[in-house]
């Protein structure tokens, strides 16, 4: 997740300060891409609607273009037919990017242990946070969002994430 | 079915074997007579089976006591005017050679037969476009065959380009190769989905455009195929209830009820009065929920985001009632074979009445913005209109069929759970355009509220579960207290409810239309086959006819107005 500056700065106090500023910005302006396929997408609709209001975490700008998003929220079952599309969308997103697997299906295949269902999206793309539930409550989506924010807080410009990930479609 | 109709058919089809199962007449015909029989049933004015509900197949490989051909195909037909339900069944001697397709009779057969080909590997001769539909194009084997391993997972490396089908469709619509290439009339191909906000799930819509006008359209589904039917074959009957939640997840309870009703009617279980009324109240409540989501999303697509808050917030508020009752917000799993999971809680009437009032307010707020709104009118009226005859031929049911002026509703035409005792109307449209489909849904919500209020006045007391040791779980006190109850509990959980051997079809008016279940039971606690007749599937099968000649932006509205739910579409 480099900005290009670290080559000049190196690992010193300036980089650390820069990390803090950049991470602060990134934490509170996550733009989610909703990869909604099934029931969980309906619960995401609830998370976005007035009562739970995802904009309290600065993540209400839902983008359906992978180029404009930095948080991929996979809401629902991913079948083998869908898998290449998910991978492609993940690859189209610009760094830095984070992935949340929402619900049992995206996390592990859920109740669908059969010929057509991918047993968890981490077989295809790297995942940063998992949400349990079938489907999870909207509060759980917000909880995952906070977990991602916590994770962003500790990241550094000097470290590239997930460069060595190899999924089953790679 | 009435005796005269059976007489007519017996004279018309002397070679057929007639049996009556529940309210369905099943005709067994020889393979070479199948197409002829279907053609007469469709065209003969006395018979007039204008609605092809479903096509499926049965693989008898492991069926106890079965001899002869391994496969059979089943066509489920309905004469909606006279409430006649019919299944035509034919043995398939050789799946590679297959049977003659019925696509020339009902266009609905196109997708239905593709599904049978995909899932069972049965060929359909003279089918215009026999490709896989639910599974991906790189898939090997046919999942619903009994010798197919459920864990035979197969990776798909890239999506189908759909180049062949769209070019074929262009040619059918009179656009030749030179027009496609000519610089003045060049055709633009635009792909929507499967991950696109307007596709409301995972559907792929490929269009060929002249400017903004759609010249040809082909659609691909199956992105949410989760193997419902194969999984159901490995579960006991009650274990399937949670799977049905995830068919149409906007109205999970309707699926729960439709499913258990199908099993109960075969087993001859008469559920208690109170359970029947509970099911009516909850069905109608969920019908409202389903329509709320559909309309909210449809109006967002039109740019009316305020309506989304008006309608969706009422759905969100309804979750309070639903989760207090069922313990879950979305996936209720609230029915069991023989009754309901539990009774209403104390004071539910007040909650329900408040909920209904709020919903009424939400709908009126929304209608105040929509009814007189010129933008809404111009975008929806006479747009993607579908005449009644065409809608029937494509197998439409539910609000979309009624919007086209066909007043068919199972609650009136084949009533169950005392629906004949309620005073309610069936709203119908005239043109079958997007406006009609939306307005029929608005009106249906008001009718559903009427039914709920009547049912709340009439609901009797008493138990919500039948008293039958072979079906109902014994109370926990008894399980821990005596050995018979413990054994019965063990048997019901591990072996499941034993369902008598046989094949049957049962249907239910769900929010989207006729939701049917075709079961084959081998007498054990697990279904031998459980096929869903999803209302969405057939609507999506007619989508290309609705949008060709219209603008691409209208196609988006049209998709919203037919309310496609992936879970039910792809199962």
Average of per-residue pLDDT across B436-451: 92
Residue A135 lies in domain: 31-153
Residue B92 lies in domain: 3-125
Is position B439 within any domain? yes
Average of per-residue pLDDT across B140-153: 89
Domain count, chain B: 2
Is position A20 within any domain? no
Does position A1 have pLDDT exceeding 60, yes or no? no
> B-chain residues within 8 Å CB-CB of A111?
231, 242-243
Domain boundary among B103, B125, B147: B125
Contact B155 A82 (CB under 8 A): no
Mutation target vs B (from A33, A34, A35, A39; most B CBs, 10 A cutoff): A39
> B-chain residues within 8 Å CB-CB of A137?
329
CATH number where A91 lies: 3.40.50.12280
Average of per-residue pLDDT across B533-562: 89
DSSP letter, residue B407 = -
Same domain flag for B261 and B381: yes
Closest-CA residue of chain A to B198: A64
Does position A51 have pLDDT exceeding 60, yes or no? yes
| Closest by Cβ to A85, choosing from B195, B245, B312 | B195
B337 part of contact set with chain A, CB < 8 Å: no
Contact A37 B223 (CB under 8 A): yes
Does position A130 have pLDDT exceeding 90, yes or no? yes
Burial (CB < 10 A; 0-12, 13-18, 19+), residue B284, is buried
Is position B200 within any domain? no
Contact A46 B316 (CB under 8 A): yes
Mind listing the pLDDT tens digit for each residue in B469-521? 888 888 888 889 898 889 888 988 888 888 899 999 999 999 999 999 999 99
From chain A, which residues contact B within 8 Å (Cβ)? 34-39, 41-43, 45-46, 49-51, 64, 76-77, 79-86, 89, 105, 111-117, 134-135, 137, 168-169
Question: Is the Cβ–Cβ distance between B86 and B78 less than 8 Å?
Answer: yes
Token output for B388: 């009644």
Does position B460 have pLDDT exceeding 70, yes or no? yes
CB within 8 A of B62, min separation 6: which ones? B146, B522, B528
**ipTM of this predicted complex?**
0.85
Question: Is the Cβ–Cβ distance between B170 and B180 less than 8 Å?
Answer: yes
Query: How far apart are alpha carbons B12 and B29 in whole angstroms?
Result: 12
Question: Is the Cβ–Cβ distance between A102 and A75 less than 8 Å?
Answer: yes
Domain boundary among B125, B155, B172: B125
CATH number where B323 lies: 1.10.645.10
Q: Which residues of B117-150 are buried (b: 16+ CB within 10 A; e: fewer)?
A: bbbbbbbbeebeebebbbbbeebeebbbbeebee
B327 part of contact set with chain A, CB < 8 Å: no
Domain count, chain A: 1
Is position B210 within any domain? no
Is position B233 within any domain? yes
Prior bond of B81 cis (ω within 30°) = no
Find the range with the poorest average confidence among B176-180, B205-209, B342-346, B371-375.
Answer: B176-180
Same domain flag for B384 and B237: yes
């Amino acid at each position: 997740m480099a900005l290009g500056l670290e080559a000049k700065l190196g690992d010193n106090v300036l980089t650390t300060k820069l990390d803090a500023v950049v991470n602060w910005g990134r934490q509170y302006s996550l733009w989610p891409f909703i990869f909604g396929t099934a029931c969980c997408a309906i619960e995401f609709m609830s998370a976005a609607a007035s009562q739970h209001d995802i904009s309290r975490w600065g993540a209400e700008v839902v983008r359906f273009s992978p180029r404009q998003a930095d948080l991929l929220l996979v809401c629902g079952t991913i079948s083998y037919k869908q898998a290449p599309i998910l991978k492609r969308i993940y690859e189209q997103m610009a760094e830095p990017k984070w992935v949340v697997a929402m619900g049992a299906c995206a996390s592990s295949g859920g109740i669908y242990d059969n010929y057509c269902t991918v047993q968890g999206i981490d077989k295809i793309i790297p995942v940063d946070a998992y949400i349990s539930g079938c489907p999870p409550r909207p509060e759980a989506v917000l909880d995952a969002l906070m977990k991602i924010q916590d994770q962003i807080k500790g990241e550094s410009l000097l470290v590239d994430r997930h460069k060595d990930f190899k999924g089953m479609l790679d | 079915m009435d005796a005269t109709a059976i007489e007519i058919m017996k004279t018309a089809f002397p070679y057929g074997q007639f049996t009556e199962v529940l309210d369905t007449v099943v005709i067994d015909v020889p393979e070479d007579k199948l197409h002829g029989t279907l053609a007469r049933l469709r065209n003969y004015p006395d018979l007039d089976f204008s609605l092809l509900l479903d096509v499926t197949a049965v693989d008898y490989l492991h069926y106890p006591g079965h001899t002869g051909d391994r496969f059979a195909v089943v066509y489920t037909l309905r004469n909606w005017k006279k409430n006649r339900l019919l299944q035509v069944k034919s043995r398939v001697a050789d799946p590679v050679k297959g049977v003659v397709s019925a696509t020339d009779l009902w266009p609905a057969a196109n997708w239905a037969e593709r599904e049978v080909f995909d899932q069972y590997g049965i060929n359909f001769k003279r089918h215009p476009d026999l490709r896989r539909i639910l599974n991906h194009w790189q898939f090997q084997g046919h999942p619903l065959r009994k010798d197919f391993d459920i864990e035979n997972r197969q990776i798909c490396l890239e999506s189908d380009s759909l180049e062949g089908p769209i070019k074929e469709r262009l040619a059918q619509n009179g656009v030749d190769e030179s027009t496609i290439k000519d610089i003045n009339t060049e055709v633009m191909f635009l792909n929507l989905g499967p991950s696109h906000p307007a596709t409301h799930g995972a559907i792929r819509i490929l269009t060929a455009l002249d400017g903004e006008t759609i010249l040809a359209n082909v659609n691909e589904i199956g992105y949410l195929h989760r193997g419902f039917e194969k999984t159901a074959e490995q579960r006991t009957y009650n274990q399937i209830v949670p799977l049905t939640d995830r068919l149409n997840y906007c109205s999970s309870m309707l699926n729960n009820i439709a499913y258990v009703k199908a099993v109960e009617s075969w087993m001859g279980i008469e559920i208690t009065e109170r359970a029947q009324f509970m099911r009516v109240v909850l069905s109608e409540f969920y019908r409202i929920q389903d329509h709320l989501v559909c309309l909210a999303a449809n109006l967002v697509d039109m740019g009316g985001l305020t309506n989304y808050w008006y309608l969706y917030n009422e759905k969100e508020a309804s979750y309070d009632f639903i989760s207090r009752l069922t313990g879950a917000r979305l996936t209720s799993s609230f029915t069991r074979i023989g009754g309901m999971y539990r009774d209403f809680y104390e004071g539910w009437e007040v909650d329900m009445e408040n909920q209904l009032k709020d919903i009424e307010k939400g709908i009126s707020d929304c209608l105040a913005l929509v009814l007189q709104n010129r933008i809404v009118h111009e975008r929806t009226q006479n747009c993607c209109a579908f005449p009644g005859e065409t809608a029937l031929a494509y197998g439409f049911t539910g609000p979309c069929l009624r919007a086209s002026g066909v007043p068919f509703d199972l609650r009136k035409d084949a009533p169950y759970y005392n629906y004949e005792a309620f005073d309610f109307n069936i709203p119908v449209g005239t043109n079958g355009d997007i406006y009609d489909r939306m307005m029929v849904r608005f009106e249906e919500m008001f009718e559903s509220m009427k039914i709920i209020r009547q049912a709340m006045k009439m609901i009797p007391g008493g138990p919500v579960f039948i008293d039958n040791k072979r079906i109902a779980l014994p109370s926990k006190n008894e399980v821990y207290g005596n050995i018979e109850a413990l054994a019965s509990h063990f048997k019901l959980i591990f072996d499941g409810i034993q369902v008598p051997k046989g094949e049957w079809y049962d249907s239910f008016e769900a929010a989207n239309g006729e939701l049917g279940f075709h079961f084959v039971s081998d007498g054990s606690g697990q279904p031998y086959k459980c096929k869903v007749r999803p209302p969405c599937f057939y609507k999506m099968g007619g989508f290309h006819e609705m949008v060709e000649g219209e603008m691409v932006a209208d196609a988006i509205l049209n998709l919203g107005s037919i309310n496609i739910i992936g879970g039910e579409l792809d199962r």
